[in-house]
Amino acid sequence: DTAVSQTPKYLVTQMGNDKSIKCEQNLGHDTMYWYKQDSKKFLKIMFSYNNKELIINETVPNRFSPKSPDKAHLNLHINSLELGDSAVYFCASSRDMDSYNEQFFGPGTRLTVL
Amino acid sequence: AQSVTQLDSQVPVFEEAPVELRCNYSSSVSVYLFWYVQYPNQGLQLLLKYLSGSTLVKGINGFEAEFNKSQTSFHLRKPSVHISDTAEYFCAVSPPISGGSNYKLTFGKGTLLTVNP
């Protein structure tokens, strides 16, 4: 059983398109995250949600809109895709927002914008 | 604010040799420290973490790390590596808090460990 799953695994699209990435966790966790990993492997948090409430919104263009329909799901919608959006996007979850908690990561979605 | 510096972007070693991956952090408050590993084409998974107490922390797969407050370091070690340890290793830091918008993991830029036969 996959703890944190993401779909799709690969996404290739043209500039200007709109796309979504879905994430689901079956761990019963309260908190979920989106991270962006660039081509140099640098990992940076984009958003975090706790019990469907937005907690962290880093300096991310407003073309990126997360949505949490319930505690187990956190989706990422991206409008008007740009070349610089090409990266690997990771979803993660943790039991709650206590900072000692382990974060569990999904396998990643490799987005390529042409 | 916290920051993490991983001093080596790549560390090549031979199988069965010992390895140390270096991590230094900067913070004006006490911190929690983590090492995560990313195997090729996979997500990250936790190797070990330091919260408090004993400065020597043991993790999975034979890895250990030592917290050194005076040197603000949290170096990762393994006495004998295996080919399967080839992966990207990330050091991360977070403030010791519960909840709020200040809670986030700050990652270093990663160290690629390559174990050669």
Q: What is the pLDDT of residues B9-47, one digit of tens each?
A: 999 999 999 999 999 999 888 889 999 999 998 899 999
Measure the CA–CA gap between B55 and A97, rounded to whole angstroms.
Answer: 24
The answer to whether the Cβ–Cβ distance between B43 and A4 falls below 8 Å is yes
Q: Assign domain B3-116 to its CATH architecture.
A: Sandwich (2.60)
What is the reported pLDDT for B98? 67
> What total number of domains does chain A contain?
1
Picking from B43, B100, B103, the nearest residue to A108 by CB comes out as B43
- What value does the mean pLDDT take over residues A23-37? 95
pLDDT in tens, B65-108: 999 999 999 999 999 999 999 999 999 998 877 666 667 889 99
Interchain CB contacts (distance < 8 Å): A and B: 68
Which residues 60-89 of chain A have a CB within 8 Å of chain B?
Answer: none
Nearest CA to A86 among A33, A24, A22, A17?
A17
CA distances from B112 to B21, B63, B84 (A): 9, 15, 13
What is the reported pLDDT for B104? 80
- Residues of chain A neighbouring B100 (CB-CB closer than 8 A): 55, 97
Picking from B43, B100, B104, the nearest residue to A105 by CB comes out as B43
More confident of the two residues A97 and A103? A103
User: Where in chain B are the domains?
Assistant: 3-116
- Residues of chain B neighbouring A88 (CB-CB closer than 8 A): none
What is the reported pLDDT for B76? 98
Band the pLDDT of B1: cuts 50, 70, 90. Answer: confident
CA distances from A51 to A32, A44, A110 (A): 9, 21, 27
Picking from B51, B88, B96, the nearest residue to A41 by CB comes out as B88
CATH code of residue A66: 2.60.40.10
What is the reported pLDDT for A77? 97
What is the reported pLDDT for B100? 62
| Contact of B34 with A100, CB cutoff 8 Å | no
Picking from B43, B98, B100, the nearest residue to A106 by CB comes out as B43
The answer to whether the Cβ–Cβ distance between A100 and B96 falls below 8 Å is yes
- Residues of chain B neighbouring A107 (CB-CB closer than 8 A): 41-43
Answer yes or no: is pLDDT of B110 > 80: yes
Instruction: Give me the amino acid identity at B67.
Output: F
Structural domain boundaries enclosing A72: 4-113
Answer yes or no: is pLDDT of A57 > 90: no
What is the reported pLDDT for B50? 94
Which long-range contacts link B105-108 to residues 24+ away (Cβ below 8 Å)?
B105/A45, B105/A99, B105/A103, B105/B34, B106/B2, B106/B3, B106/B4, B107/A42, B107/A43, B107/A44, B107/B4, B107/B36, B108/B4, B108/B5, B108/B6, B108/B23
